[in-house]
Structure 1
Amino acid sequence: MTQPPHDEPTAESTEELREQVEKTREELGQTVEALAARTDVKARAQEKAAEIRDQAAAKTGELKEQAAHKTGQLKEKAAEAVSLVQDKTPEPVRAKTSKAAKAVRDNPLLLAAAGAAVAVWLVCRRRKG
């Protein structure tokens, strides 16, 4: 027979004994539930997968935020570079470049024809050389 733990006094009445038995049953039930939860591999795996999924979602959000920030920085640097080049480019060159770009946008066949003319010129030049 087992003896009661030293820190708990023995029951002096039947009612106290019943209360101790009920308390012990509750504790035992809780212990069994905790052990069952630990041995439920499928549930633990699902919990771990959910935890990892949440971590991945949080990291994805961080990376998207960082990418947006970096994109903004790169756009600013590109705008600064364009501004610097425009400041150093003489006005007549800018005007001609702008006019040529507009002409190409308005008539893409013009660009194709110019490209073909350059290709023909290069082929003729190679044959002579």
Structure 2
Amino acid sequence: MTQPPHDEPTAAGPEELREQVEHTREELGQTVEALAAKTDVKARAQDKAAEVKEQAAAKAGQLKTKAAQTAAQVQHKIPHPVKDKAASAAGQARAKAAQATHLLQEKAPEPVRNKTAQGARLARDHRSVLLVAAGAAVVVWLAFRHRKG
């Protein structure tokens, strides 16, 4: 027989020895499970991918909130005459777009009309992105105009 480790007391009887053996088995089983988890590269990669996905979703939410706050701040800073001019320009643009659409429907060949309709559908489907981009363009234009003036 071998000597027991110095930090563990020896068993007083067979029942205590069985309990020590069972405890050692449990610890060994946990150690084996931990080692198996460390060697499972696929599972670790999936866990890491899930973690990165969660972080990206959280960051996207933060950026969306920040963009909305910034847009609100910028909108409050735009003077009313500029807002009025922008609304007027938007109305004129809608009228010109309607006129161009009517002219396009009369004169353009069928493939061109199909592509144009597809582009219009995409624009409608992604309206918020287009509005944010247009708002950013107006802010940049106003900033450069203000610097020059």
Normalising by structure 2, report the TM-score: 0.53
1:47 to 1:10, Cα distance in 2 relative to 1, 3 A: same
Structure 1 unaligned runs (5+)? Answer: 87-97, 110-129
Distance of 2:46 and 2:18 partners within structure 1: 40
Distance of 2:51 and 2:28 partners within structure 1: 30
Shift of 1:82: 2.1
Q: Which SS does the other structure have where 1:33 is aligned?
A: helix
Q: 2:72 aligns to what?
A: 72
Q: 2:39 aligns to what?
A: 39
Shift of 1:74: 1.6
Q: Compute the RMSD of aligned alpha carbons.
A: 2.8
Does 2:81 correspond to 1:82?
Answer: yes
| 1:1-129 superposed matches below 5 A | 2-78=2-78, 80=79, 82=81
Q: 1:120 aligns to what?
A: none
Structure 2 unaligned runs (5+)? Answer: 100-149
Distance of 2:9 and 2:53 partners within structure 1: 50
1:57 to 1:2, Cα distance in 2 relative to 1, 3 A: farther
**Structure exhibiting the larger radius of gyration computed from Cα positions:** 1
Shift of 1:2: 4.3
Normalising by structure 1, report the TM-score: 0.60
1:45-75 CA-partner distances (Å, limit 9, x unpaired) = 1110010000000000000011111111121
Matched to 1:28, the amino acid is L
Bigger relative CO (Cα 8 Å, ≥ 6 apart) = 2
Distance of 2:2 and 2:77 partners within structure 1: 80
Give structure 1 regions of 4+ aligned residues with deviation exceeding 3 angstroms: none
Distance of 1:72 and 1:53 partners within structure 2: 29
1:2 to 1:43, Cα distance in 2 relative to 1, 3 A: farther
Distance of 1:59 and 1:2 partners within structure 2: 58
Aligned residues: 91
Distance of 1:43 and 1:3 partners within structure 2: 40
Percent of aligned pairs sharing the same letter = 64
